[in-house]
Amino acid sequence: MNYQISDLERITGIKAHTIRIWEKRYSLIKPHRTETNIRFYDDEQAVKLLNIVTLLDNGFKISMAASFNDIELREKIAELGKLDLVIEDSNTRYLNALIGATLLYNEVEFSKLYVKVIKEFGIYDGMTKVIYPFLNRLGLMWLTNETFPAQEHFASNLIRRKLIAAIDNLPIPVKSKNKFILFLPPNEWHDIGLLFSELLIRSKGNETIYLGQNVPIENLELVIQEYKPTHILTFFIAKHTDKVVEEVIKNNQLTSKKCMLLIGGLAQIETNKNKKIKYLRKPSDLYEYV
């Protein structure tokens, strides 16, 4: 993918003026030029700048970081992974490295980084402190045309697969006091949050039925009648009108008045008047609830 210098500024957090100085003073990266002499940069140059930023965040001077060739730069980044760094530095290091692996479609490197994140932080902190910020950053890059949709799908699907594998490794709860149905309403497709929720819920020994994305409301009603859950969990990520949100709430309540409805995502809903609805404003709300 081609980047303007303003794109690199947003991706790395380094001001365009500073990037230009580094180009001239240290020959850090050399921009390509179109036939009409317009400057642009490629994925590998973006990744190199991300690696430079990681070194700077961990105490390196720009003169030293810029002196490393590509192999030495990767070795220095690898060495950081072996050090006992403070949490903030680890977050930054992993965040930049995950973005770099995504830009280059490097599944091997991405998987290694994911394993390191979970090993260092645990599944809950790893997801909330590294993976979620990474996905948010990636989403912003996609919205500003700094990544292809394919790059975002590449990363999201790798994370989905790893969450599904983690869920499969848990014992299947039976005869639990709490029974959860997890679903996304019509026109909702981003289910990483829903999968992570199932992982948290199952890890506490609760039964789950995972219905997944874009579930028709009439189908959900049939499952509720048959399964008789104690809880229903859903997310609104896409932009919905209040009417759509209220329709989902109304249908769920008509079908199962004794069931607690848990709602996460972007929808802002007044829940104070109804004790059978709980709005999850952040992952810790669900973690503490279950």
The pair of structure tokens assigned to 143 is 């919205």
Q: Is the dihedral of CA 284, 286, 288, 290 positive or negative?
A: negative
Note the pTM of the prediction, 2 decimals. 0.70
Per-residue pLDDT tens over the stretch 22-45: 988 888 888 888 888 888 888 888
Residue 199 contacts residue 163 (beta carbons within 8 Å): yes
Distance CA 126, CA 119 (A): 8
Residue 143: pLDDT above 50?
no
Average pLDDT rounded to a whole number, residues 224-228: 86
Residue 159: pLDDT above 80?
yes
Percentage of the residues of the chain whose pLDDT score is greater than 90: 28
Give the orientation angle of helix 149-168 with respect to helix 87-103, to 10 degrees.
120
Give the orientation angle of helix 242-255 with respect to helix 217-227, to 10 degrees.
30
DSSP the chain: --B-HHHHHHHH---HHHHHHHHHHH-----EE-TT--EEB-HHHHHHHHHHHHHHHTT--HHHHHHS-HHHHHHHHHHHTTS---HHHHHHHHHHHHHHHHHTT-HHHHHHHHHHHHHHH-HHHHIIIIIHHHHHHHHHHHHTTSS-HHHHHHHHHHHHHHHHHHHHTS----S-S-EEEEE--TT----HHHHHHHHHHHHTT-EEEEEESS--HHHHHHHHHHH--SEEEEEE-S---HHHHHHHHHHHHHH-TTSEEEEEES-----TT-TTEEEE-SHHHHHHH-
Q: What is the pLDDT of residue 173?
A: 86
Per-residue pLDDT tens over the stretch 117-128: 999 899 999 999
Q: What is the pLDDT of residue 90?
A: 60
Residue 54 contacts residue 92 (beta carbons within 8 Å): yes
The pair of structure tokens assigned to 274 is 């109804």
One-letter amino acid identity for 163? L
Residue 275: pLDDT above 90?
no
Residue 144: pLDDT above 60?
no
One-letter amino acid identity for 54? T
Question: What is 170-289's CATH number?
Answer: 3.40.50.280
Average pLDDT rounded to a whole number, residues 160-179: 92
Domain borders along the chain are 5-167, 170-289
Give the orientation angle of helix 87-103 with respect to helix 43-57, to 10 degrees.
170
Q: Is the dihedral of CA 92, 287, 156, 235 positive or negative?
A: negative
Q: In the predicted model, what is the mean pLDDT of the chain?
A: 82
Per-residue pLDDT tens over the stretch 191-204: 999 999 999 999 99
Residue 159 contacts residue 134 (beta carbons within 8 Å): no
Q: Which of 99, 90, 96 is nearest to 120 (CA)?
A: 90
